[in-house]
Structure 1
Amino acid sequence: MIYPTLSSLLEKVDSKYTLVVAVAKRARQLVDGQQKLTKVESNKPVTIAINEIYDEKIAYERNKPEKPAE
């Protein structure tokens, strides 16, 4: 069984698309040299990013659409 499960990860974000974007961005940061924020046995950036989201070590912020100019 894969841990954490997809359903448990989806409880941490508002959609599966948000989850994918958040994991991808965090994995890129890890590849670029940022320190991991949680203890994980794996050295794979995507696995680390998934666990950081599950452990709520990172958060995302949804951009609000700008109002059109009148």
Structure 2
Amino acid sequence: MKQPSLDILLSKVDSKYTLVLAAAKRARTLMEDPEFEVNYRGSKPVSLAFDEIAKGKYHFELTREGIK
């Protein structure tokens, strides 16, 4: 899987900090899925999270308490 460029990723968020928080949260969610190893064999969760953010598949809300 080809990694999305930083320019594309940053166009989806307001800062690099938000990008890292959103990707980390999504990666943790992917890792909690019991079928992660079966469905995404050989893929790393952070790479998948960045790909989903770039494609607009992962939607998040930035609040005062954090990303939801």
Q: Normalized against structure 1, the TM-score is what?
A: 0.73
2:63 equivalent to 1:63: yes
Q: Which residue of 2 aligns with 1:46?
A: 46
Measured at CA, do residues 35 and 50 of structure 1 come closer, stay the same or move farther in structure 2, by a change above 3 Å? farther
CA distance in structure 1 between the partners assigned to 2:41 and 2:27 by the alignment: 15
2:30 equivalent to 1:30: yes
Is the 1:12–1:54 contact (alpha carbons within 8 Å) kept by the matching residues of 2?
A: yes
Runs (4+) of structure 1 exceeding 6 A deviation are none
After superposition, give the CA deviation of every residue in 1:22-63 in whole Å (9 maximum; x if it has no partner): 000000000001778xxx885110000000000100111111
The count of corresponding residues between Structure 1 and Structure 2 is 61
Unaligned runs of 5+ in 2: none
Query: Helix, strand or coil for the counterpart of 1:3?
Result: coil
Higher Cα Rg, which structure: 1
RMSD: 2.5
- From the two aligned structures, give the one with the greater strand fraction: 2
Identify which range, 41-50 or 16-25, moves more after superposition.
41-50
Identity, % of aligned positions: 46
Q: More relative contact order in 1 or in 2 (CA 8 Å, sep 6+)? A: 2
Measured at CA, do residues 8 and 41 of structure 1 come closer, stay the same or move farther in structure 2, by a change above 3 Å? farther
2:10 equivalent to 1:10: yes
Unaligned runs of 5+ in 1: 66-70
